[in-house]
A and B are shown apart, each in its own frame.
Chain A
Amino acid sequence: MNPLMLDIGSTYFKVMENGRVRHWFRDFTRPIHDDLMDKCGGLVARHTPENIFICSSANGGLSTLILGLSESFSLKYAVNIAFNSGINIIDTVLLPRLAEATPPKEQVDVVILVGGIDGVAGFFGPETAAFLRQVDYSNIVYVGSDADIDFVKEAIENVVILDNIVDGKLKMRDKGLKTYLTDLYQADIMGKEEIKRLYDITANQIFSTPYIVNQALPAISQKLDVADPFIVIDIGGATTDIHYSRDLVSDNITGEGGYDRLVFKKLGVYKSRESLIHTARQNEYVFELLEYLGVTEDILEKQSEEATRVLMQLAIFLVLYKVSRHHGEYVELKLENLNSIVLTGGITKVLDEEDAEAILRFFYKKLLHFHQIPQLVLDHDYEIWTYGMEAVSAKERP
C-alpha cells in the first residue's frame, strides 16, 4: 500500500495519497490534531501508523546563537550545519569582536560555541563566560578545540561537549553537531503538545518540512522543467526558505547533497506580515517596484486579495535581494548564473506565473542589468515536498 504523507504547515494541511495532493486551510481556533482528524480522519483511518509519514513546520523550529572564531572556518561551518539541521539562526558573534557584541534579548533554544583546531588552546576565556551569562538559553553545545574543553566545562554549566567541527585539515566534520541539533529538534517537536499528539497516528519520525524539501532537491530536475543551478523559494505563512544549489556560492562547503538552505524567519506573508512590510519599507528599491506594479504604498496597509498578491511579490523580491551581491549579511548567491527558479509554498496559491515573472524581470533588470530571466517554475500543486517525503519514507520502509 502506498504511504500516506502529511505536511502540517502554518497555514495549510497538505496530504498526498496515491500520487494525489490535497490541501485544507487550517482552522487556527482548534488544536492541530483535532482539526486534522476532522478534515482527513477518513484518510488516516485507511492507513496503519507505520504507513503514515508526517513533516511539519508548524512548531516554528529552534533558534540558535553561534559564537565562533573565524568567518572562514568555524563560524561558517557552524552556520551551515545549523541551517541544514533546520535551525533558525538568531545571531552570530565572532569571538575577537565579543566586546562589541550585544547579547540577544529573546530566548535562544541552543547556543553553539566553536573555534580553533584541536590541540590549540585559549580561544574561550572569562569574557566568553561573562557574555553567556547575559544570554537566556536552554541548551549549550561546545564543538571547538579539544584543548579548551576543560575551561569550557569549568566555566559553563550543563554544556554538552562534542567533536570539533573543524578537523586538522580545516575541513568540516559535521556529523556530531548535526545529530545533536536534529535530536534537539525532535525533542522540541515531542515536547510541543500540538505536534506530540500527531504521534498517535504515525509510528514514524516526524520531520521538519525544510529538511524534507531539501531532500527533494536532487530529484527536482528529473521531475520538473528545471536546470541546475536552481533555487527553490518556499514562501509560506510564517517563514521564507531558500534552498540553493551549492555551486551558486563561491565559497561553498563541499558536503553531502549539493544543496543548502537559508531561512528568513520574518518574511512570511501571514504570520510575519508586519515584519515583511517593515523590511519592505526599509528597502531602497521597493517604491520603484510598487510603481512598476502599478500600485501605491498604501496597498501595504490594506487587507485585500490584491494586497496579499503584492505582498507576495514583495517577498520574492526581498528574498532575492537578501541573497544578492547588494546585501552582505547573508550568503551571496551568483544569481546571474541561475538557470531556474522554483516557487513553492502558500505563495503558489495566490500568484500566477505572470505575477511572479514580473518581479523577476524587475529584479534582474534593476539589480543585475539583465534582459533575460531564469526559467520560472511554479509548484502549483505543492509537489516538491512529496518528492522529499518519498525519498525519506523509502529509506524508512523495510
Chain B
Amino acid sequence: MSLFQRERAIITRNEYVDRFDFEEIEDFVKNADKNLFISHHFKTRDKMLVQPRGGFPTFEKVWKLYEEFTAAGVDVLPLTIDSNTRLNDYATAKKMLILSEENDVDMLNGYPLIIHGYRTTRRMMTHFNTPVSLRHGTPDARLLVEVAIASGIFEIEGGPITYLLPYSKNFPLDKAFLYWKYVERVCAHYSAFNEPINRESFGPLSATLQPPAIVIVIQLVEMLLSLEEGVKSFSVSFSQSGSMIQDVVTAKVLRKLAREYADRFGHTDASIHLVYHQWMGAFPRNKEFSDALITTSTVIAAMVGADKIIVKTRDEAFGIPTKEANARAVASVQYTLGMLKGIPPVEDEEEEAHLERMVREIMEAVLNDGADTLWRKVFNAIKKGHIEIPFSPHVINANEVITIRDPQENIRILERGKLPISDESFAYEKSKIRLQPGETVVEKIIKDIGIMQ
C-alpha cells in the first residue's frame, strides 16, 4: 500500500464516519452516470451553466431544495456545508443535526455531509442525476472531500489560499497548503476512473475591493498547485467587481494567462473553465434593485463568456435565502441568458495590457522565490506580502495594500504595500484615482464598499 493510501486510511478512519469502503467507492465512480460530472457538461453543452447556492441541515430539506431547483431549470446543484463541519467540529454538527431533525428548525447553516455520510447522500445525488458542486470554506477538507466524492459530488470548490485567507484568522497556512495537496491528489486519483473531477478556485476572495491583479495571481497559483497533483479539469473564477469594463478585462486576462501558465508548466491536457460570481458584496435592501443587480451581472457574465455563473437572490440582504427565492433567481438568470446570445465583444486594450503586465510582475516574483516546491514559493510570497488579500482577517496576511475605486468604478491600488509591481504599473493605477475635494480615503473606501446599497 502506498504512503498516500495509508494516509487516506488514517484520515477516513474517523469517529464520525461509517466504515469507508475504498473499493466500492472506486467502483461507484467508475460506473457513475456522466451527467453527474460537471466536466462532462463543460465539454458537451453549448451554454453557460447556471448554479445557485444553498444547503440545509436535513436530508429532506436538501431534497426539497433540489426539487425546486430542478423545476427552475438548474444546470448545477450546490451543496453548501455547515460551519461546524467546515471547522472539522463534527461533534457539534452531529448534535445540531439531531436538534434540527427533532424540532424541524434549522440549527445549522448548511448540510453536515460527514454526519449524513456518503451512503445516505449518494442516494440523493444519483436520484437528481445533475452535477453537484461542493461549497464549503474548509482549510482542512481532506475527509470532507473523500466523503463528497464517495457521495457522487464531482466538483470541489476551494483552495489553500482562497478557502483560508478570506475565512480564517489563525489556521496555519502551511498546513492548508499540505491539506489541499491531499485534496488535489484524491481528485486526481478518481479522475482516472471516469470523467475528471472538476476543481474550482474561489475567486471572490474577501469580496471587498479586490484588485483584479491579485485575484488573477491567486487563481493562477491555485490552478497550478492543483494541476501539478494531476487534476485535469479546473475552473478559475472571479466575482462581479462593480465595473463592467473591469470585469471584461479581468476575464480576458485571466482566461489567457490561465491557459498560458498551464501550458508552460506542462499541463497542456488540462481543460480550464471560467466561472463568474454575481455580486458578492453587500446587497441593496430594495428587492427590485437586487433584481436589477442580478440581471446586470448576468449580462456581464454573457459579455465575459463565462462557462458557469453562480447566482444570487433578491433576498440576499436579509439572510439565508429561501428555496423559493433561490429557484426564482435560477429561472430569472436562465431567462436573461436566453436573450443574450451573440453579444458583440467589448475590448479595452490599454487596460488589458496594464493588467496583464501587473499579473506577470507578481507571478515572476512568486516563481523566482528560491524554495524548491511551488507551494512553498507561494507560501513565502504570502509571508513576504508579495501576495495579499485586502480585508482578509488572517494573521499572516500583510494588510498593507489599500484599494479604492476610480471615477469609472474600477478598483485601483492606492497603496501597493509589498506587492512586487513595477513603478510604471503602480503609477498607472494611481493616475486613475480621483478624490473629491475634502474627501478622505477612509470615507471613499466606505462608500466604495457599499457601492450597490
What 0/1 readout, one digit per residue, does chain A (247-290) give for beta carbons within 8 Å of chain B? Answer: 10111111001100000000000000000000000000000000
What are the interface flags for A310-337 relative to B under an 8 Å C-beta threshold, 1 for contact and 0 otherwise? 0000000000000000000000001011
Mask for B49-93, Cβ within 8 A of A = 1, else 0? Answer: 000000000000000000000000000000000000000101100
> What are the residues of chain B within 8 A of A334 when measuring CB–CB?
88
Q: Chain A residues with Cβ under 8 A from B15's Cβ?
A: 336, 370-372
A247-B140, A258-B174, A370-B15 known; A225+B395 contact, CB < 8 A: no
Count of residues in B whose CB is under 8 Å from the partner chain: 25
| Closest chain A residue, CB of each to CB of B171 | A247
Shortest CB distance A257–B (Å): 8
In the bound assembly, the distance between CA atoms of A258 and B171 in angstroms comes to 10
Classify the interface of chain A: helix, strand, loop or mixed. Answer: loop
- How distant is the Cα of A253 from the Cα of B88 in the complex, in angstroms? 19
* Distance between B95 CB and nearest chain A CB, rounded to angstroms: 12
Q: Which of A171, A228, A250, A253 is within 8 Å of B175, CB to CB?
A: A228
Assembled-state Cα–Cα distance A187/B157 (Å): 52
Would A227 and B395 count as touching, CB distance under 8 A?
Answer: no
B residues less than 8 Å from A222 (CB atoms):
3
Q: Which residue of A lies closest to B7 (CB)?
A: A227
- Considering only residues 84-131 of chain B, those with a C-beta below 8 Å from chain A are 88, 90-91
How many angstroms between the C-alpha atoms of A337 and B144 in the bound complex? 13
Q: Check: B243 CB closer than 8 A to any chain A CB.
A: no
User: Which residues of the other chain, A, contact B394 by a CB distance below 8 angstroms?
Assistant: 254
Q: Contact check, B399 vs A254: say whether CB atoms are below 8 A apart.
A: no
Contacts of B173 in A (CB 8 A): 254
Q: Which of B3, B91, B172 contacts A247 (CB 8 A)?
A: B172
A247 touches B175 (CB 8 A): yes
Partner of A228, one of B91, B179, B395: B179
Question: Is A226 positioned at the interface, with any CB of B under 8 Å from its CB?
Answer: yes
Query: Is B305 among interface residues, defined by CB-CB distance under 8 A?
Result: no
Smallest CB separation, A173 vs chain B (Å): 12
Number of A-B contacts (CB under 8 A): 58
Residue among B3, B175, B395 making CB contact with A229, cutoff 8 Å: B175
- By a CB distance below 8 angstroms, the chain A residues around B174 are 257-258
Q: For A225, give its contact among B10, B88, B172, B399 (CB under 8 Å).
A: B10
B45 contacts partner chain A, Cβ-Cβ < 8 Å: no
| Interface size grouping (class) on chain A | 20 to 34
Residue in chain B with minimal CB distance to A257: B174
State whether the Cβ of B13 lies closer than 8 Å to any Cβ in chain A: yes
Q: Is B170 an interface residue (CB 8 A)?
A: yes
Residues of B within 8 A of A245 (CB): 175
8 Å CB contacts to A: which residues of B161-199?
170-175, 178-179
B14 located at the interface, meaning its Cβ lies under 8 Å from any Cβ of chain A in the complex = yes
In the bound complex, how far is the Cα of B88 from the Cα of A336, in angstroms? 9
- Give the docked Cα–Cα distance between A258 and B174 (Å): 7
Cα distance, A251 to B168, chains bound together (Å): 11
In the complex the two chains form, is A254's CB within 8 Å of B172's CB? yes
11 extra A-B contacts, CB within 8 A, seeds A249-B170, A334-B88, A372-B15: A169-B399, A225-B3, A227-B10, A227-B11, A250-B170, A253-B395, A254-B395, A258-B172, A258-B175, A336-B90, A337-B88
Listed A/B pairs (17) with beta-carbon separation below 8 Å: A221-B7, A228-B178, A229-B140, A246-B172, A247-B139, A247-B140, A247-B172, A247-B175, A250-B170, A253-B170, A254-B395, A258-B174, A258-B175, A336-B15, A339-B10, A372-B13, A372-B14
